[in-house]
Amino acid sequence: MRVALFVTCVNDAFHPGTGRAVVRLLERLGVRVDFPAAQSCCGQPQYNTGYRHESEPLLRRTAGAFEGYDHVVTPSGSCALMVREHYPRIGRAAAAEGRGTALSRLAEDLAPRTYELSEFLVDVLGVTDVGAYFPHKVTYHPSCHGLRGLGLGDRPRRLLAAVRGLELIELPGAEECCGFGGTFALKNPDVSAAMGADKVRAALATGAEVLCGADNSCLLHLGGTLRRQDAPLRVLHLAEILAATEEDHR
């Protein structure tokens, strides 16, 4: 099995520890992980703001970077959704415009090999207990792209529930959007901030020590809201919890 880590822009720039946690976790489970240095932005910001043609070179670059791998694993539901759902649409649109089928073939080849982390663990490796230890109270926020786009369901919660020492607390209104939404937060800052405040209020009410998510873009938004309130709650990506062991807490 040849597996590549698709770290994504947000993680590379702001949360490199998440990428390292994915590698540590997968290697502990017996998976050899490569990091193709040619990877870059997947083109989601361009595509989401209506610049489809501008996203095409990034599709080509991404497909080239991950060519030949059996599986591509990413700790980001939004980027996984971009590759799985939107890349084929971009390719089909290019073909319909008479610009050939090469882009469509690249997209159709990469899409089914791309997995969000919890999907890969549960569906490909067939595990929920990854040997993690994290002695803290945790509440989980399911990001919209993972929940509604990929249909992750309860995979992340099943993984968290199997972590030794972890007390998983239900988040009220868990399926409500946190207000980030990529460019939505830039175009509608007041609405975005209000939605984030609602989500943070619900998380604080749980009494949890950690607000966990599977997308660091949402956690950046929520973490910023928490810091501005000087709130006693930290945000942490799912991968970093699953990678933790008893030695890390000695």
DSSP for 34-78, please give it.
Answer: E--TT----SHHHHHTT-HHHHHHHHHHHHHHTTT-SEEEES-HH
Q: Where are the domains of the chain?
A: 3-124, 137-249
The neighbouring-strand residues paired with 4 are 34, 72
Class of 137-249 per CATH? Answer: alpha beta
Q: Please give the pLDDT value at position 186.
A: 81
| pLDDT tens digits for range 46-99 | 998 999 999 999 999 999 999 999 999 999 999 999 999 999 999 999 999 999
Q: Across the chain, what does the average pLDDT equal?
A: 96
Q: Please give the pLDDT value at position 170.
A: 97
Q: Structure pTM?
A: 0.95
- The Cα 185–Cα 203 span in angstroms is 20
Task: Report yes or no: 217 and 44 within 8 Å, Cβ to Cβ.
Answer: no
Q: Please give the pLDDT value at position 64.
A: 97
Work out the average pLDDT over 214-238.
95
Q: Please give the pLDDT value at position 182.
A: 79
**What band does 102 get if pLDDT is binned at 50, 70 and 90?**
very high
